[in-house]
Structure 1
Amino acid sequence: MEATRIIAVRHGETSWNVDARIQGQTDIALNDTGRWQARRVGEALATEPISAVYTSDLERAHETARSIGEVSGKEVIPHEGLRERSFGMFEGKTFDEIHQTWPEHAQNWRKRIPDWQPPEGGESLLELRERVLRTLHELAARHPGEQIVVVAHGGVLDALYRIATRQEVNAPRTWELPNGAINRLLWTPEGFTLVGWSDTQHLDEANAPADETSA
Structure 2
Amino acid sequence: MNQTTRILAIRHGETAWNVDTRIQGQLDIPLNATGRWQAEQLGRAIADEGLDAVYTSDLARARETAEAVGRGAGLPLVLDTGLRERAFGVFQGLTFAEIEAQWPEAAVRWRKRDPSFGPDGGEVLTEFYQRCVDTAARIAAAHPGQSIALVAHGGVMDCLYRAATRVDLQAPRSWLLGNASINRLLWSPEGFSLVGWSDTQHLDGAVARDETNDASGAGRVGHAA
Q: Same fold (TM over 0.5)?
A: yes
List alignment gaps of at least 5 residues for structure 2: 215-225
Q: What secondary structure does 1:123 align onto?
A: coil
> Where does 1:35-46 land on structure 2 (aligned, <5 Å)?
35-46=36-47
Q: State whether structure 2 residue 217 is matched by structure 1 residue 212.
A: no
Counterparts in 2 of 1:60-139, with a 5 A limit? 60-120=61-121, 122-139=122-139
SS of 2:192's equivalent in the other structure is strand
Structure 2 CA distance, aligned partners of 1:142 and 1:213?
A: 29
Give, in whole Å, the separation in 2 of the partners of 1:101 and 1:117.
15
Tell me the equivalent position of 1:24: 25
Distance 2:125 2:198 in 1: 22
Q: Is the 8 A contact 2:13 2:36 kept in 1?
A: yes
Q: Which residue number in structure 2 is paired with residue 153 of structure 1?
A: 153
Q: Deviations over 1:4-55 (max 9, x none)?
A: 0000000000000000000000000000000000001100001110000000
The size of the alignment, in residue pairs, is 213
CA distance in structure 1 between the partners assigned to 2:63 and 2:189 by the alignment: 27
- Give the whole-Å Cα distance in 2 for the aligned partners of 1:146 and 1:185: 12
- 1:10-21 matched pairs, under 5 angstroms: 10-21=11-22
**Deviation (angstroms), 1:124:** 1.4
The answer for the alignment partner of 2:186 in structure 1 is 186
Q: What is the match of residue 50 of structure 1?
A: 51
Q: Distance in 2 between matches of 1:188 and 1:14?
A: 33
TM-score when scaled to structure 1? 0.97
* C-alpha separation in 1, matches of 2:205 and 2:22: 26
Structure 1 CA distance for aligned equivalents of residues 161 and 28 of structure 2: 24
Task: Say what the alpha-carbon RMSD is for the aligned residues.
Answer: 0.8
Name the counterpart of 1:197.
197
CA-CA distance at 1:168 after TM superposition: 1.4
- Of all paired residues, the percent bearing the same amino acid is 59
Q: What are the ranges of 5 or more consecutive residues in structure 1 without an aligned counterpart?
A: none
Paired with 2:152 and 2:212, the residues of 1 have a C-alpha distance of 15
Runs (4+) off by over 3 Å? none
Contact 2:11-2:154 at 8 Å conserved across structures: yes
Taking the aligned partners of 2:126 and 2:212, their CA distance within structure 1 comes to 20
CA contact (8 A) 2:200 2:208 kept: no
Is the CA contact (8 Å cut-off) linking 2:155 and 2:212 kept in structure 1? no
- Distance, in Å, in 2 between the alignment partners of 1:78 and 1:2 is 23
TM-score, normalised relative to structure 2 = 0.93
